[in-house]
Chains A and B, each alone.
Chain A
Amino acid sequence: MARRTSLPVTFVVPTIAILLVLSMVPTLYAIVIALQNRELSSPDYSWVWLSNFGDLFLDRRFLNAVWVSVKWEVVTVGATMIVAIGLGVLMFEVASPRLRNVYCLLFIIPVLLPRVSAAFVWKFAYHPLYGIATYPYRLITGGLIFDPLSKPSTALFAVASVDVWQWGLFFAVIVLKLLETLPPQPIEAARLDHASRWQIHAFVTLPMLKAPLISLMFIKMIESLRSFDLIYVMTRGGPGVATETLDMYAFSQGFIESGKVSYASAMAVLMMIATVITFTMLWKRVQA
Chain B
Amino acid sequence: MKPIRLAAGLSAAFMLSATVSTVALAQAPVCSAPVKVLAQPRDGLTLLEDSKAEFQKLAGAGFQIDYLNENDRRAKSRADASTVGNYNVYYVDEANVALFASSKWIVPLADYYPADYDYADFDPGRQKVATYDGKVWFAPLTGGGDLMVYRKDVLEAAGIQPPKTLDDLIADVPKLTNADKGMYGIALRGARGSGANVWRWMPFFKAYGGKWFDGDKPAFNSEAAVKATETYLKLFKDSAPGTQTGSWDESTGAFLSGQVAILVESTPLSGMAVDPKTSQVIGKIGFLPPPSPLPGGGYGHGLAIAAKANADEASKKCAGLFIAWATSKENEKRRLDAHQFGELNRTSILSSKEFADIYGADLGQALAETGKVTAVNFWQDPRWPDLGDRWGIILEELVAGTRTDIKGGLNELEAYANELVKKK
Contacts and interface: CB of A to CB of B under 8 A. Distances in A.
Given A238-B400, A239-B397, A239-B402, 12 more contacts: A40-B78, A129-B182, A147-B244, A150-B190, A150-B242, A236-B71, A239-B396, A240-B397, A240-B399, A240-B402, A241-B393, A257-B389
5 contacts: A129-B241, A238-B191, A240-B397, A241-B402, A257-B389
Interface of A: 40-42, 61, 127-129, 143, 145, 147, 149-152, 235-242, 251, 255-259
B179 interface: yes
Given A143-B180, A236-B192, A256-B75, A41 B103 contact: yes
Interface string B73-92: 01110110011000000000
Given A41-B382, A128-B241, A150-B242, A241 B397 contact: yes
Nearest to B385: A257
A40 B401 CA distance: 33
Contacts of A255: 75-76, 78-79
Contacts of A258: 386, 389
B99 interface: yes
A259 B384 CA distance: 13
A153 to B, nearest CB: 10
A92 B182 CA distance: 46
A255 B390 CA distance: 13
B266 to A, nearest CB: 21
B245 interface: yes
B396 A145 contact: no
Given A239-B190, A256-B75, A42 B386 contact: no
B259 interface: yes
Contacts of A241: 393, 397, 402
Nearest to A257: B389
Interface in B364-411: 382, 385-386, 389-390, 393, 396-403
A150 B191 CA distance: 10
B260 to A, nearest CB: 12
B402 A257 contact: no
A71 B99 CA distance: 37
Chief secondary structure at chain A's binding surface: loop
B413 to A, nearest CB: 13
A40 B82 contact: yes
B245 A238 contact: yes
Contacts of B399: 239-240
A180 to B, nearest CB: 44
A9 B82 CA distance: 42
Contact of B192 (A152, A238, A259): A238
Interface in B132-184: 179-180, 182
Contact of B393 (A42, A61, A127, A150): A61
Contacts of B192: 236-238
Contacts of A238: 191-192, 245, 396, 400
Interface string B103-133: 1000000000000000000000000000000
A151 B22 CA distance: 68
Nearest to B76: A255
Contacts of B103: 41-42
Nearest to A260: B386
A127 B242 contact: yes
Contact of A145 (B241, B382, B400): B241
10 smallest beta-carbon distances between A and B, as pairs: A239-B400, A240-B397, A128-B241, A240-B402, A40-B82, A150-B244, A257-B389, A240-B400, A255-B75, A256-B75
Contacts of A127: 242
Contacts of B102: 41
Contacts of B382: 41
Contacts of A239: 190, 244-245, 396-397, 399-400, 402
Interface in B7-44: none
A128 B244 CA distance: 11
A109 to B, nearest CB: 27
B402 A242 contact: yes
A280 B242 CA distance: 42
A242 B400 contact: yes
Nearest to B242: A128
Given A152-B401, A256-B75, A147 B241 contact: yes
A157 to B, nearest CB: 15
Interface string B176-213: 00011010000000111000000000000000000000
Nearest to B100: A41
Contacts of B99: 41
Interface string B55-87: 000000000000000010011101100110000
A145 B399 CA distance: 17
A3 B75 CA distance: 59
B71 A256 contact: yes
A256 B193 CA distance: 9
The winner among B190, B245, B402, B403 for most chain A CB atoms within 10 A is B245
B235 to A, nearest CB: 16
A217 B269 CA distance: 49
A162 to B, nearest CB: 16
Contacts of A145: 179, 241
Contacts of B179: 145
B396 A240 contact: yes
A41 B82 contact: yes
A262 B71 CA distance: 21
A151 B242 CA distance: 11
A278 B390 CA distance: 32
